[in-house]
Amino acid sequence: MSQSYHFKIVLLGPAFVGKSAIAFRFTKNTFISGYEPTIEQTFNKTIEFDGKQVRLDVYDTAGSEQFRTLLELYIKEGDGFILVYAVDDNASFNGIKCIYNDIVNITTSMNDGVVPLTLPPILIAGNKCDLDDKVVKNEEVQEFCNTHGCDFLETSAKRNENIDQIFALLARRLVEQQGNLQKKNNCPMQRNLERWPQNVAGPYYVDKKCIDCGNCRRHAPNNFGRINSEIHSYVKKQPTTPEEIESCNKAILCCPVHAIHKQE
């Protein structure tokens, strides 16, 4: 019997980048060439991979600034996000950088003001790759994605290029994340997290027994002291790949015992 999942995917991005065209192509296999401003539309489609059935509710959202007040609601409702820019518009790429920051800020506010250990999966889609007048360089986008742990694909709703792929990839990330969270929550050693010092005057450092991940940032005081990079490791990035997440889940069990120390 196949496993079944149900996720809400939110398409976010500035106006005129083709969010609606992507949603229509994925769910109805049609291309809409005209443009009518969207406030919100919801589509759904079920896909299958690796013996799993995944129902995706796809939220096509407004890109106009006048509807920006709805952004917080979209982000709170979404399980995963596709940030869409147009390859012929530099401003649209800058726009999704701002939206990425909004996702971080809003999910942080939902987590009692602490940056979450794991953000919702985010995929960057460079749409309209069928156009000849491309101005946004792939290298620039890939650098952003490598820094922030996002996946990246160029798409064309017009030619139906990589449309199914972006949703399938994001669905895989969501299934992986859900599985990792279930493993973590089922682990009896999770209670060790409660041993992190919460209200003790710093400064603190993290030594080499702790991998570079978000655990220390989340569970230790915020006032970290100076770091001797030759002796100690410091919080640099959140885990993104399944391998990093698995290593992180292993390291988190020993971190409360010996990975964080008060700096003398």
* Boundaries of every domain in the chain: 4-186, 204-262
Percent above pLDDT 70 for the chain: 62
Fold annotation for 4-186: Rossmann fold (3.40.50)
Q: What digits encode the pLDDT tens for the residues 22-80?
A: 999 999 999 987 766 666 789 999 999 999 999 999 999 987 665 677 888 889 989 99
Q: Which spans in 110-225 are helix H?
A: 138-148, 163-186, 215-219
Q: What is the DSSP string of 84-99?
A: EEETT-HHHHHHHHHH
Strands 151-154 and 122-127 turn out to be parallel
Beta partners for 8?
57
The structure's pTM equals 0.70
Q: Per-residue pLDDT for 235 more than 50? A: no
Residue 203: which pLDDT band, with cuts at 50, 70 and 90? very low
Within the chain, where are the H helices?
A: 19-28, 71-77, 90-109, 138-148, 163-186, 215-219, 242-254
- In CATH terms, the fold of domain 204-262 is Alpha-Beta Plaits (3.30.70)
When pLDDT is cut at 50, 70 and 90, the band that residue 232 belongs to is very low
1 confidence band (pLDDT: 50, 70, 90): low
